[in-house]
Amino acid sequence: MLRLRGAVQHYAWGDRYALPAMMEITADGRPWAEVWYGTHPRGQAQVDESLHLPAPTYLVDQVGELPFIVKLLAAAQPLSLQVHPSSAQAAAGFAREEALGVPRDSPQRVYADERAKPEMVVAISEFEALCGFVPQRDAIAACEAAGAMQLAAHVREHGSADAARAVLRGEKFAVDSPSAAMRQLLEHHSGSRDGGPSANNSHAAVALLMHHVRLAPGEALYLDAGEVHTYLYGTALEVQGSSDNVVRAAFTEKYVDLDEFFALASFAERGTPTIVAERVSGTSAAYRCAAPFQVMRHEVHGTFALTANREHTLLVCTSGRLGSLSAGSVAYVSRGESVALEGTATLYSVSA
């Protein structure tokens, strides 16, 4: 079992205290948005035991490339409205930017790699997100409740998909009483806390057309290619394909490519994508979905024993202590390796 040290990402939307508190380290005043545990070049995990050596060892040097990244994520404000490509779309987009000579470290680079980025987010704290589009009747009802009568009429006449594209292109729709999700977006991305004049000119009205999901700790979302989403607030475990391909449409200072976003995004109506873990034993539950990785939660009071039966497994402790793993700790277990740990903890295992 290899103890890991993750790569910290200090994005502007990150929480200054949540992840340092979980990991029992002193906050440094910067926003701690994500800690990556994987082998992607933009955030490689190190083997903890090598940190005292002159040159630290990276996980990729020990085990090769992982097909997934595990992240601890803490959002103090909404992320960008975004979508991820399929494998074919990622390969085509990456090749196109390579041919155009867009530098890989350019802020205008959309495709960082050739891989898809399906992702699951499992709430550690109360967690909120916007994801996917509600049925037309629900969108009309939400618009009318917010006093967005022009937008309601647009949805009624042209459908939710056309309305969402109009909002994101900057078409103006007056909103008298912004929804709770709209208020969160407006607070951080337009300077409006009360639905004042800036609310009438904001992309935030797209929230009226989307599922506003509130996850309790342990509940999850699974988002495949094309699923439009933004995380609004909270701390979570995120598992995703080993990719950093993000195509953004709004709510960010980063590069926005609206044409590419529209080319990838699904605006189809859908049910809420919440996943409730399925109990598989007295202490363990599995998150069933179409992910190319497996995620399980273990509530341990005593001994936790595991023999890894897949090529790569990461163990993530999110609360309590289990042997050498405390909250915020992550360890790698290779195929065929057995571990036995004692303690009381919430532990996640991620494997592929």
Q: Is the pLDDT of residue 126 over 90?
A: yes
Residue type, 42: R
The whole-number pLDDT of residue 51 equals: 59
Q: Is the pLDDT of residue 195 over 90?
A: no
Q: Is the pLDDT of residue 28 over 90?
A: yes
- 240 band by pLDDT with thresholds 50, 70 and 90: very high
What is the mean pLDDT of the segment spanning 114-127? 97
Whether the CB-CB separation of 221 and 131 falls below 8 Å is answered with yes
Whether pTM exceeds 0.85: yes
The whole-number pLDDT of residue 75 equals: 98
The domains of the chain, with CATH numbers, are 2-129+213-275 (2.60.120.10), 284-351 (2.60.120.10)
Query: Cα angle vertex 198, ends 183, 82, to 5°?
Result: 60
What is the mean pLDDT of the segment spanning 1-9? 96
Half-sphere exposure of 44 (CA within 13 A, CB side): 14
CA dihedral 131, 132, 137, 143 (to 10 degrees): 50
Judged by DSSP in three states, 33 sits in: coil
The whole-number pLDDT of residue 194 equals: 38
Taking Cα atoms as reference points, which of 114, 117, 98 lies closest to residue 106? 98
Which of 11-15, 145-149, 268-272, 340-344 shows the lowest mean pLDDT across its residues?
Answer: 268-272
The whole-number pLDDT of residue 202 equals: 83
Q: Is the pLDDT of residue 235 over 90?
A: yes
- 197 band by pLDDT with thresholds 50, 70 and 90: very low
CA dihedral 217, 220, 226, 232 (to 10 degrees): -10
Q: What is the CA radius of gyration of the chain?
A: 21
Judged by DSSP in three states, 75 sits in: strand
* Angstrom distance (rounded) from CA 144 to CA 153: 9
The whole-number pLDDT of residue 196 equals: 40
* Angstrom distance (rounded) from CA 314 to CA 166: 42
Whether the CB-CB separation of 47 and 57 falls below 8 Å is answered with yes
Task: Provide the mean pLDDT of the chain.
Answer: 94
Give pLDDT tens digits for 75-109.
999 999 999 999 999 999 999 999 999 999 999 99
* Angstrom distance (rounded) from CA 248 to CA 229: 10
Above pLDDT 90, what percent of the chain? 91
Above pLDDT 70, what percent of the chain? 95
Q: Is the pLDDT of residue 120 over 60?
A: yes
Which of 48-57, 82-91, 263-272 has maximum average pLDDT? 82-91
